[in-house]
Amino acid sequence: MKKYIIILALVNSAFAPLLCLAQTNLQKTVVLDTIYANDTKNVALFFPEPIRQGITGSDNFVFTYNRDKEQYFGLLQAKPGKESNLLVVNRNGSIFSYIVRYKKQLSKLNYFIPASHSIGNEKPIVTDSILAESSEERVDNRAFYYQKFCSYLLNRKQRIGRIKKRNEGIVLSVENIVFDKEELYFVIQIENNSTLDYDLNFLNLSIETRQKGKRKSLQRLYQEPIYKHNLPSKIVEGQTARFVYVLPKFSLSNDRRAILELNEKDGERNIEMKLSHRYINNPN
């Protein structure tokens, strides 16, 4: 009997550290590093791969990076307010996440981010085989991304300016224009302050070019959205509709501008809004 007791004691003593280690690992949580910024200095973040996308969770933090030509660094600024988070995706899909806080006095202005700080990759890395993705799967994945990013933009309170026009109680607004990857996202709002429902016939975006010469004329080229999110067919009286148009990235010269044309079905409450090249060429 004593022999069995001794063996049991030895087994317990051998496995006890492993059990404690397993419990410790289960209790571990991912602790995000904190980056401090303010509104008087630029805090530079240098990443191991060029930045493809960077998003902050609150408007009092601004993370700027080159959206046209991918570069290795971005600049962070902050206004006084509650802490938020910063999510950065590199060109190779590596994801980096940080807590960001406002701090009046900064002791560090440059952060050199190692690859080991990545919290994961947006796509699983396959090492033993190459998976061929069908065109249908790529379309489905892209549409899923558009849906998620459009929902994110509608939940944000970011504004690009006061771009608004009204006609007989119908108010058309462009709240935001955001550039992401190779697309422009137009966050649009229609308010129906009239006493009649508004049936939407179409909402088109075109590029208008002023023809030079003695006979000045205007030429419009319709831009086909590649995705429409939450586009309504009717706006009930007293209600507001917010939705997103996704279009391929484009820029405008000084002699061109974008035209947003709202047309009512079986009605005359139409609105034509002109968007300056400044808004298109300087999106959020």
pLDDT digits (tens, 9 = 90+) for 227-238: 999 999 999 999
User: Exposed e or buried b for every residue in 243-272, given b needs 16+ CB within 10 A?
Assistant: bbbbbeeeebeeebbbbbbbebeeeebebe
pLDDT reading at 185 higher than 90: yes
- Average of per-residue pLDDT across 93-110: 92
pLDDT reading at 252 higher than 90: no
Q: What are the sequence ranges of the domains in the chain?
A: 34-124, 163-281
Q: Does the fold of domain 163-281 match that of domain 34-124?
A: yes
Q: What pLDDT does 18 receive?
A: 40
Q: What pLDDT does 214 receive?
A: 54
pTM of the entire predicted model: 0.52
Compute the distance between CA of residue 273 and CA of residue 284 in angstroms, rounded to an integer: 20
Structure tokens that stand for 265 in this block = 């079905």
- Average of per-residue pLDDT across 65-88: 90
pLDDT digits (tens, 9 = 90+) for 159-184: 888 889 999 999 999 999 999 888 99
Q: Which fold has domain 163-281?
A: Immunoglobulin-like (2.60.40)
- Average of per-residue pLDDT across 264-281: 90
User: Per mean pLDDT, which of 2-6, 185-189, 212-216 is the most reliable?
Assistant: 185-189
CA 129, 132, 138: angle at the middle one, nearest 5? 135
pLDDT reading at 24 higher than 80: no
CATH of domain 34-124: 2.60.40
CA 51, 57, 59: angle at the middle one, nearest 5? 100
Q: By mean pLDDT, which of 33-47, 54-68, 145-159, 200-214 is the weakest?
A: 200-214
